[in-house]
A and B are shown apart, each in its own frame.
Chain A
Amino acid sequence: MLDNISYFIRRALRNMRQWPVLCSAAILTMAVALATMATFFLVVINIQGLATSWSEEVQVVAYFQYPPAGNQLAPLIRKVEAFADVKQAIYITKTEALKRFEARLGDDAGLLEGVSRDLLPASLEISLKSGSHNREGVARVVAELKKDSRFDDLRFGQEWLERFENFVDLLKFVGLVLGSFFLLAALFIVSNTIKLTLYARRDELEIMALVGATKRFIQIPFLLEGALQGLASGVCALGFLTLAYKLLLQKSLQTFWLTPVGFDPIFLNGNQQLILVLCGILLGSLGSLVSLRKFVRL
């Protein structure tokens, strides 16, 4: 048994050495397929990451007609924070609202000179829990707030939210379609490349069958070879991806104007890297298996 295994490994290795062009062609094809899929995956998870950090800014602002009396404020905040969807409510006084406005005007802050300090209304800035960063969550909070007559006006960017959610849905759909397309294309290309390598060695397959090798005995070295090539291609793809990420994605994301300040670009985590390499092994052995079934006939 051990003797057999070492024989199979020796055979697989020497086959690869014997056909370096075919071998590297197979590795390259698989590496390109894997890298394409992984790049796409990376783009999708980064956009989703971006989307999540955008949606963290989703909040409802409730403006007061009259600023609440000092002893009413705390109970009101407690009441609002008790809503199921609400994470936090922060009171913004008139003075603070004006200060923010001034800050935003920057050099033009002079325009506000002599303006009454009562210009802007006091408000509650209500941020939502992470599960409620969507239309329904906002709508529930707004409905509750409307019952309270102390609030004069509510702002909540409904339209923006709707578009954003549609965008994320579209992204997921496109990801699914393109992802499965890439997967099929990769399998097709890989099995054809391997078919080519088997075609180049059809004499060897024929002679093995002739001298009484069992089907399994003939197939195992080729399967092993496919798996080894898959492993190599997985590692290549990972290397390529790391490079592309460092050189392109990371820079472009950091300079992208919509990227929130606190957002760190996402790379594959350890498990996902392992999965990528395993995918390579699977792709290689599956590709071999599919084409072997056509070639090894007894």
Chain B
Amino acid sequence: MIQLFNVTKSYGKENVALREMTVHIEKGEFTYVTGPSGAGKTTFLNMLYGACKPTRGQILINGINITRMSGRQIPYLRRKIGVVFQDYKLLNSRSVYENVAFALEAQGKKRYEVSKRVYKALKEVGLEHRLQRKPIELSGGEQQRIAIARALVVEPLILLADEPSGNLDQEVTLEIMELFKRANARGTTVLLATHDHSLYKRFPKRVLGLEDGRLIMDHQP
């Protein structure tokens, strides 16, 4: 599903975020990406949805070489990938419903289909009773669940989560992990960047360890 071959990403001469990374991730796998701050986790995930391009090396997603993709094709790549961030990236001036609907509208889906799927996705994350509220009025955990609903409503092949529980307490983190595991159980490939050791001790899965841009560990439970 995801294949990296000797991928290097550098910002300027000195600043190398990823070095010669080669890794394969199968369809339906659940993988943690770990490492200290500045290790290159975000850079790794960003490259997978075309937010930045590798300086050297090739990335294949679903057999397609995305390093050769033009700006025109990137949106179509992104429609197959859901992304969740530490800071949620929600529109606080829009309702919960609109925030989730955004992802389907961007693909030009019909209105009735949008409303049906948005409702289903919000129900999945337990927020179907909050449709008309503004994200800012809700708790951090609820906001992250909106973001997850937005990522999952398009039924993506891949779900990328960049420190999704970085701002959340233990209890809420477990709720969110539950959502990721459920998505994974339905066949979505999940990549979760975190430096929270307790997380992968509690839910053991494959762990990729990064340090200073290098892949130093690839551990299967």
Contact = CB atoms under 8 A, between A and B. Distances in A.
Given A3-B110, A3-B111, A212 B93 contact: no
B41 interface: no
Interface string B146-189: 00001000100000000000000000000000000000000000
B89 A213 contact: no
B121 to A, nearest CB: 13
A18 B134 CA distance: 14
Given A18-B93, A204-B91, A298-B75, A211 B108 contact: no
- DSSP majority for the A interface? helix
A11 to B, nearest CB: 8
B102 A207 contact: yes
A210 B82 CA distance: 9
Contacts of A211: 78-79, 102-103, 106-107, 150, 154
B52 to A, nearest CB: 11
Contact of A215 (B71, B77, B93, B107): B71
Interface centre among A3, A204, A211, A298 (most CB of B within 10 A): A211
B17 to A, nearest CB: 20
Contacts of A208: 102, 106
A4 B106 contact: no
Interface bracket on A: 10 to 19
B193 to A, nearest CB: 16
Interface string B100-128: 00110111101100000000000000000
B76 interface: yes
Interface string A191-215: 0000000000001101111111111
A66 interface: no
A7 interface: yes
Given A212-B76, A213-B75, A298-B71, A207 B108 contact: no
Interface bracket on B: 20 to 34
B102 A298 contact: no
Given A3-B111, A298-B71, A298-B74, A213 B106 contact: yes
Contacts, number: 53
A207 B91 contact: yes
Nearest to B107: A212
A217 B103 CA distance: 12
Contacts of A212: 75-79, 103, 106-107, 154
A18 B95 CA distance: 13
Contacts of B89: 203, 206-207, 210
Nearest to A217: B106
A209 to B, nearest CB: 8
B74 A210 contact: no
Nearest to B103: A211
Nearest to B90: A207
Interface string A231-246: 0000000000000000
A4 B78 contact: no
Contacts of B103: 211-212
Interface string A1-45: 001100100000000001000000000000000000000000000
Nearest to A206: B89
B143 to A, nearest CB: 14
B48 interface: no
A210 B110 contact: no
B83 interface: yes
A212 B74 CA distance: 7
Contacts of B150: 211
A4 B89 CA distance: 25
B78 A210 contact: yes
B75 to A, nearest CB: 5
A213 to B, nearest CB: 4
Nearest to A3: B110
Contacts of A7: 105, 111
Nearest to A210: B83
Interface centre among A204, A209, A212 (most CB of B within 10 A): A212
A3 B111 CA distance: 8
Contacts of B74: 298
Contacts of B75: 209, 212-215, 217, 298
8 contacts: A204-B91, A206-B89, A211-B79, A211-B102, A211-B107, A212-B75, A212-B79, A212-B103
Given A209-B78, A212-B103, A298-B71, 4 more contacts: A7-B105, A207-B91, A208-B106, A211-B106
The 4 closest A-B pairs by CB, nearest first: A212-B78, A213-B106, A212-B79, A211-B103
